[in-house]
Amino acid sequence: MILYFVCFALTLAIEWGVLLIWVSLRGPSYRTFDLCLLLGGMNCITHPLAWWLLACGNPSFFFAYFGIEIAVVFVEACVLHRLGGLPGRSAFLLSLACNLASLLVGIPLLWFLSFI
Amino acid sequence: MFEFNRNKITPRIGSLPSRGLLLRGLLLMLCTLLVTGCGLSKTRADILLPGYKSVKHYLVFEDLSLPPGQLLIVGPTRGLNGFEEIKVGEPFRFSRKYDTRIYLVPVEFSTEAWNQESLQAWPSVIPPVSEINSVPLISSVAEVITNLCFDGVVDGQPVFGVVSQVKLDSLGQVVNPTTFLLIILLLVGVGLALCFYASRRLKAGPLQRQRSGENRRVESS
């Protein structure tokens, strides 16, 4: 269980990092804190559900994995667009960047740590 | 006077990105890597990882009342020899691939004679458990331990039963799916509340927030 929370915290940290970089590139906004809250809230919903679905496991795990990841990107983009007030394209790109970053950081870390 | 537009997040087009925010973002990611390196050396690194991982499945007898003058030996019928005596409380591995069997032999049976050919003469059974040798990579299970019991000898064959099975994570803690489900529900609840709160704040906009702040100040004074 501790492991799950570490992974969850890691996901949040990476996605918040991406959001802060994104905001800084787009220009400062009063909404930074609110967007961080929204992103955190979304992750509280999507991350445990995705984890739980994947932990159930099935033979077509890879398809399930990428299916769930894509679903998460779209759900987060919708929430950022509808609740966060971001334009649709920006919301999608931000969601994609956040999830891609966590994916791209996570997998090499696993391989790296498996050697330790 | 500069006025915020809540529908637009880029009030300063063409200006340099805020260095403070950029630094904070980079610092956060750097801290993440540091925490990961320090704290996750025995865990999975991230997040939602694809694939499967192998787990160790052990069998153990917590109570073993064998007929007098007999002992249990476990070993494969394929591959290299790897026979060992089963002792109470000592976990041992088994494999469906190498067709591990549990043999009931007399105590006098010489240790040197423990090989696949000589043991064929003695009664044996395969362990009454389906081997779990892999789980999804994100599963926290690292070990599976099945407790067995010896039910006696029927028709010359030893009979074993399954008492219980526990799944442990890499820290040796019991993996409890119910607890995890409760935590998921709790997190989803927190997530919904955060989304609701954030959306209300975002809809309010800065001017309303400023006004409400001024009102509060007036009320307090």
The verdict on a CB contact (< 8 Å) between B40 and A37 is no
Do residue B132 and residue B103 come from a single domain?
A: yes
Q: Which tens digits make up the pLDDT trace of A52-106?
A: 777 665 546 666 777 888 888 999 999 888 888 888 888 899 999 998 888 887 6
The verdict on a CB contact (< 8 Å) between B6 and A31 is yes
Residues in chain A within 8 Å Cβ distance of B194: 37-38, 40-41, 44
Say if CB B28 and CB A13 are below 8 A apart.
yes
| Residue B173 burial (C-beta neighbours within 10 Å; 0-12, 13-18, 19+) | middle
CA atoms B213, B215, B220, B221: torsion sign: positive
Rounded to whole angstroms, the Cα distance separating B114 from B100 reads: 14
Residues in chain A within 8 Å Cβ distance of B140: 1, 3-4, 55
- Domain span at residue B78? 42-178
Do residue B33 and residue B138 come from a single domain?
A: no
Q: For chain B, how many structural domains are there in total?
A: 2
Do residue B22 and residue B125 come from a single domain?
A: no
Residues in chain B within 8 Å Cβ distance of A20: 21-22, 24-25, 28
Do residue B84 and residue B148 come from a single domain?
A: yes
**What are the structure tokens assigned to B216, written together?**
């509060």
Do residue B156 and residue B144 come from a single domain?
A: yes
Rounded to whole angstroms, the Cα distance separating A10 from B38 reads: 12
Residue of B12, B15, B19, B21 to mutate, interface with A, max A Cβ within 10 Å: B21
pLDDT value of position B213: 60
B213 is a domain residue: no
B52 is a domain residue: yes
The verdict on a CB contact (< 8 Å) between A44 and B194 is yes
Do residue B70 and residue B121 come from a single domain?
A: yes
B191 is a domain residue: no
Of B11, B52, B170, the CB nearest to A61: B52
Rounded to whole angstroms, the Cα distance separating B54 from B60 reads: 19
Q: Which residue in the block uniquely carries the two structure tokens 């069997």?
A: B101
Residues in chain A within 8 Å Cβ distance of B139: 55, 57
pLDDT value of position B35: 56
ipTM: 0.81
Do residue B30 and residue B90 come from a single domain?
A: no
B109-136 mean pLDDT: 79
Q: Which tens digits make up the pLDDT trace of B125-173?
A: 888 888 888 887 667 788 899 999 888 888 888 888 889 888 887 777 7
Secondary structure element (H or E) that encloses residue A88, with its range = helix A88-114
Do residue B57 and residue B36 come from a single domain?
A: no
pLDDT value of position B128: 87
pTM, whole model, 2 decimals? 0.56
- Of residues B71 and A60, the one with the higher pLDDT is B71
Q: Which tens digits make up the pLDDT trace of B174-212?
A: 887 777 788 888 989 999 998 888 888 887 766 555 555
